[in-house]
Amino acid sequence: MNNDIERILISQDQIEQREDELATELTAKYQDQFPIVVSVLTGAMIFTSDMLKRLNFKLNVDLVDVSSYAGANSTGEVELVQDLKSNVAGRPVLVMEDIIDTGRTLAYLVQLLKDRGAKSVEVCALLDKPERREVEIDGDYVGFKTPNEFLVGYGLDYNNLYRNLPYVGILKRSVYEQ
Ligand code: IMP
Ligand code: MG
């Protein structure tokens, strides 16, 4: 598995340090807000679980599966694969995402949550690839800005592989350009 990685972009230590910083910010902001933390499956799973352990305030957790990606190229279409269980009306919502790429997934999800009457919607993303943005949307809390490379690990996948790498790495082109 590690042979398919060109190089490590962000180490586990770097990620964990940044998570501490983000969690401090979020804990100050959400102290008495009682938000629903929505994790976007499957990529945000590892980042979400890291963050949840660091968030020191009352919250609910919910999951949503929104898919816009097939292989290494975004299809541009967003589909709600698995809906939330909670009613977000009147509640602050904090969306946890692995990476903001074109922005389509988040734009769709944020709009959906607002349409359902969420009191507020904020986005916390581990990674942000600003060069690829097609829809105007920004993360409110971002771990790292990354170059325009195809990344895997720490939840991010290529065809549902490499999610379990304990770092964010650049996938060798030879793996997806065949
Ligand atoms: P967007 O809708 O184009 O912003 O895409 C967001 C989703 O695409 C993310 O939640 C990821 O699941 C996936 N994605 C975007 N860039 C990468 C990448 O470099 N590696 C793996 N998955 C990615
Ligand atoms: Mg995703």
pLDDT tens per residue, range 23-38: 999 999 999 999 999 9
Tokens at residue 123, please? 């986005």
- Ligand nearest the Cα of residue 165 is 1
Q: How confident is the model at residue 65 (pLDDT cuts 50, 70, 90)?
A: very high
- Tell me what the mean pLDDT of segment 146-171 comes to: 97
* The predicted structure's pLDDT at residue 82: 97
- Tell me what the mean pLDDT of segment 52-79 comes to: 84
What's the CA gap between 177 and 136, in Å, rounded? 29
Q: How confident is the model at residue 72 (pLDDT cuts 50, 70, 90)?
A: low
- Tell me what the mean pLDDT of segment 149-153 comes to: 97
- Around Cβ 129, how many Cβ atoms within 10 Å? 20
Q: How many Å lie between the centroid of ligand 1 and the Cα of residue 13? A: 22
Cβ distance 121 to 93 under 8 Å?
A: yes
Using a pLDDT cut of 70, give the percent of the chain over it: 96
Q: How many Å lie between the centroid of ligand 2 and the Cα of residue 90? A: 25
Q: Which atom of ligand 1 is nearest to the CA of 44?
A: 10
Ligand 1 pocket mutation pick from 75, 109, 142, 156 by most atoms within 8 angstroms of CB = 156
- Tell me what the mean pLDDT of segment 80-99 comes to: 98
